[in-house]
Chain A
Amino acid sequence: MLETLNWIERYFDEVTDAVFIFQEDHLLVSNQLAKNLQQELDLDPNYLAQVADASVKQKLAPTDDCFKCEIRSLMKDISIPITLAEDQPHPLSYFLIYHVIDTDNHVFSLTLKSRDIIERMDQLAQQRQLNQYVNRAHEEERKKISSDLHDSIAQGVYSAIMGVRRLREESLSADEIDELSQIIERELNDTLTEVKGMALDIRPSVLDNFGLLSALKVLAQRSQENSGVTVTVIGKADTDRLSSNVQSVLYRIAQESIHNALKHAEANEITILLVSHDHFINLEIIDDGVGFDVPAHRKFNGRSLGLMNMNERVKSLNGSFGIKSSPGNGTTVTAKFPVVGA
């Protein structure tokens, strides 16, 4: 038993969080890290106790009866963000966690948790959410392909079959046959156009056969025909030395940016710039749309996941990714990748 206590004491001294235990206003015991911190930062434990006390009072104040606060007051622990050594060149960010150990004797503990660890956990949570987004986007894409196949392609082929059946089964005059065959031809033509468009949306074969610049030009032409918005490609780039991964990502960024510009920005003109230099290649998509407040969308929300995903894809291939925009001033999306010298 004595040995166990010894171990507990050792653990108490070696944990990575600084722990103080108070009774009323008096510091009862603190671990080694807390003692070090106290010495290094010239920290008064009573200051921490007061901060915690003020925060606890504020959070449990009966006037504060909003829904959220009620949830908060049910929580056993209260965490308070606190910055120590503020006057020094490297302020330290912590979470101060208030935990009641013994209500009757007014014994409570204060734990200083490094916020870096908590931020890292936030990052992991973000990563998880991003993964979820990617999975959902995959599923959405499949749904779209499936409904396109069903609604446009299957429908067109079915109409053509019906037309051919009429040709065979009904006795028609030469004029009527002529007319019907034209209708069937039109139906098949429309279907063919749809199929080609879908193939292009899913994976442009131009990208594999003729390189990034040609693929971007086809994409621009198609976007222009579908929207009436002027899409120009200006390019001076040798893309032979780029890996197919990089080419794909650049193409997807252009695709997503054009899509965003048409969907959200109400742009009248979109310009795609692809320029290669000795050691890097640069892609810019510039639109003259309504623009948006970038910092407001940098935080995690549903709408910015597309941008975050682009960012992740670029970073995973050692590139850099940036968005410049402000309300009323259009948007510029930039992606830059290093190129191995010839």
Chain B
Amino acid sequence: MSLEELDSQHDYQRLVNRIYHAEDFDFVGLALPASGQSTIKWYFVAGNQNEQFRKIVLRSGIGIAGLVVKTGKPFWKNGLHDVMYESKMYTPIAKTESLQSAAAIPIYTSKVKLADGVLLAGYRSDQQVSAETISRLSRYLTTD
């Protein structure tokens, strides 16, 4: 891992921490491909209740985060508790972190207009997420 990469890693964790402290989310996580690999995993989190998130491999098109990576567009969903395991909307990170609602926006790590990461934040309570949550999240990425 190069010095530059290490630096950006540090930045990602700082970003996640900053959102977690400034906002009222119960969980904030950021998933990226490891350098030189295509598998996307959750590397930076705040407010996690266990370490199970490390085992998840993001599948393009599956779940909230997978959909964001595939389409490159923000996505949010409430009532996550009712989503069954077979469903295309089943979001593993929501399951392991007991999230009831979550919003996610794409992250572009390279110059290519291709989302390869995702920033997700959610609530364990029945607090709802909406387009407003998305714009709140997006502000953190544009000011960076």
Chain B interface SS verdict (over half): loop
The answer to whether the Cβ of A268 comes within 8 Å of any Cβ in the partner chain is yes
- The CA-CA distance from A263 to B86 in the complex, in Å, is 8
Contact present for B85 and A259 (CB under 8 Å): yes
* A-side contacts of B112, CB under 8 Å: 178-179, 182-183
Contact present for A263 and B38 (CB under 8 Å): no
Chain A minimum-CB-distance residue to B56: A228
Is the interface on chain B under 10, 10 to 19, 20 to 34, or 35 or more residues?
20 to 34
Contact present for B114 and A228 (CB under 8 Å): no
The answer to whether the Cβ of B92 comes within 8 Å of any Cβ in the partner chain is yes
Contact present for A227 and B114 (CB under 8 Å): no
Q: Mark interface residues in A167-203 (1 if CB within 8 Å of B CB, else 0).
A: 0000000000011001100100110010000000000
* B-side contacts of A189, CB under 8 Å: 38
Contact present for A225 and B52 (CB under 8 Å): no
Contact present for B53 and A226 (CB under 8 Å): no
The answer to whether the Cβ of A276 comes within 8 Å of any Cβ in the partner chain is no
Instruction: Say which residue of B55, B84, B92 sits within 8 Å of A263 (CB atoms).
Output: B84
Contact present for B52 and A226 (CB under 8 Å): no
- The CA-CA distance from A227 to B111 in the complex, in Å, is 31
A-B contact count (CB 8 A): 54
Instruction: Say which residue of A182, A190, A259 sits within 8 Å of B70 (CB atoms).
Output: A190
Smallest CB–CB gap between B30 and chain A, Å? 16
Smallest CB–CB gap between A31 and chain B, Å? 58
Smallest CB–CB gap between A319 and chain B, Å? 27
Contact present for A228 and B59 (CB under 8 Å): no
The answer to whether the Cβ of A145 comes within 8 Å of any Cβ in the partner chain is no
* Residues 75-121 of B contacting A (Cβ, < 8 Å): 84-86, 92-93, 95-96, 111-114
Given contacts A152-B61, A259-B85, A268-B52, contact A226 B114 (CB under 8 A): no
Given contacts A152-B61, A190-B70, contact A229 B52 (CB under 8 A): yes
With A183-B113, A226-B57, A228-B92 known, 11 other A-B pairs at CB within 8 A are A189-B38, A193-B60, A225-B55, A225-B57, A227-B92, A228-B55, A228-B96, A229-B55, A230-B52, A268-B50, A268-B52
* 10 contacting pairs across A/B (C-beta < 8 A): A182-B114, A183-B113, A186-B114, A225-B57, A226-B56, A227-B85, A227-B96, A228-B53, A229-B52, A229-B95
